[in-house]
Amino acid sequence: MIRFEGICKSFGGARAVNDVTLDVARGSLCALVGTSGSGKSTLLRLANRLLEADEGSIRFDGADVTNIPPVELRRRMGYVIQSVGLFPHWTVERNIATVPRLLGWPSARIDQRVAELLDLVGLPPGLHARRYPDELSGGQQQRVGVARALAGEPELLLMDEPFGAVDPPTRRGLQDSLMAIQKRTGTTILLVTHDVEEAIRLGGTLAVLDQGRLLQTGTPAQVLAQPATDAVARFFGGPLLGLNRLKALRVGDRAHAGAPSPGEGEPIDAEATLEAALARMVAEGRSRLPVRRLANGAPGVLDLADLVRP
């Protein structure tokens, strides 16, 4: 869907992005992760030409982005930022309708799309459509921000630390909504985050950046099992990296077949993270949990020893 090739970008002599090559497949979610100053936001802003690359090329759906006028390009990509940036003088409805109006859709289609999106992001239309942004909570504002970004049916959604400004429970709710939305719409998502938990939780491809260089790409499980460099290991927790690895793996990845014996407690879901399983073992004082259903449909068990198996 979008491919960065040999991208370099400097600001006043300092290299913000240094020779990055990255391919984001159609329908996938790619999380650009790294500490501040790693160049992840710069890379994102190069995609929709809010910035222009010094070297290298970016291909969007096969076409070089420098051949697409910026305004047209941005209407084909959704854009969500941490500070949301809703237009304060417009209602929720009008904010969401921004891109469809710019694209000149007929008003019946716009109304239908707005209603669809309010539902998609989990805001009841009757309650929120006519409100102004300052009447919404931070989490609700970002839901509207996501709806606005998706309104023009973009092929690619760019998100710059979209959930960084909301409290943790709200953030998890928004992350769940985002995963559900992607499942339903199949939109390709390129997302910037410095939050390790978020990067692991969203579960797409990770692209780890440090000082402008792309250090490693892979699934959370791959990256956490074999961090390519010390910097990657440090970013994912240093000495605590092992704990984060438990967040990236599911019970089903490690459980083995076996009949649970009575008195082993409530069975755990195969889709639960190993972190959740460990938490239950600690809380309940057990070293074994029954597993509800493995991939083959049979019941299984998870031993404490399974967690530390290489």
Partner 1 sequence: MRMAGRLARRPVVWVGAIFLALTFGMGGLAPHLGFLFRAGTRLVYTRASFPELVASHALLTGAASLIAIAIGLAAALFATRPAGRAYAATLDRLGALAQTFPPVAVLALAVPSLGYGALPTGFALVLYGVLPVMGAGMAGLRSVPAAVLEAADGTGFSPGTRLWRIELPLAAPILLAGVRTSVTIGIGTATIGSTVGALTLGSPIIDGLSGDNPAFVLQGTVLVALFAVTVDLAIGEAQRALPQRPN
**Residue 159 CB, nearest approach to partner 1 (Å):** 11
Cα dihedral 73, 78, 84, 87 in deg (nearest 10)? 70
Cα gap 70→91, rounded to integer Å: 26
Beta partners for 2?
Answer: 24, 60
Which residue in the set 32, 117, 136, 149 belongs to the binding site for partner 1 (CB under 8 A)?
Answer: 149
Q: Which helix (H) or strand (E) holds 188?
A: strand 188-193
Using the rule CB under 8 A, is 72 a contact of partner 1? yes
Using the rule CB under 8 A, is 81 a contact of partner 1? yes
Instruction: Find out whether 220 and 275 touch, Cβ atoms under 8 Å.
Output: no
Which residue in the set 12, 13, 36, 71 belongs to the binding site for partner 1 (CB under 8 A)?
Answer: 71
**11 or 230: whose CB is closer to partner 1?**
11
Stretch that binds partner 1, among 14-22, 75-83, 195-203, 221-229 (CB under 8 A): 75-83
Which residues in the 21-50 window bind partner 1 by CB under 8 A?
48, 50
Cα gap 128→91, rounded to integer Å: 9
**11 or 87: whose CB is closer to partner 1?**
87
Which of 41, 70, 7 lies closest to 190 in space, CA to CA?
A: 41
**159 or 270: whose CB is closer to partner 1?**
159
Q: Are β-strands 77-81 and 256-257 bridged in parallel, bridged antiparallel, or unpaired?
A: unpaired
**134 or 266: whose CB is closer to partner 1?**
134
Residues that bind partner 1 (CB under 8 A): 48, 50, 70-75, 79, 81, 83-89, 98-99, 102, 132, 134, 145, 148-149, 158
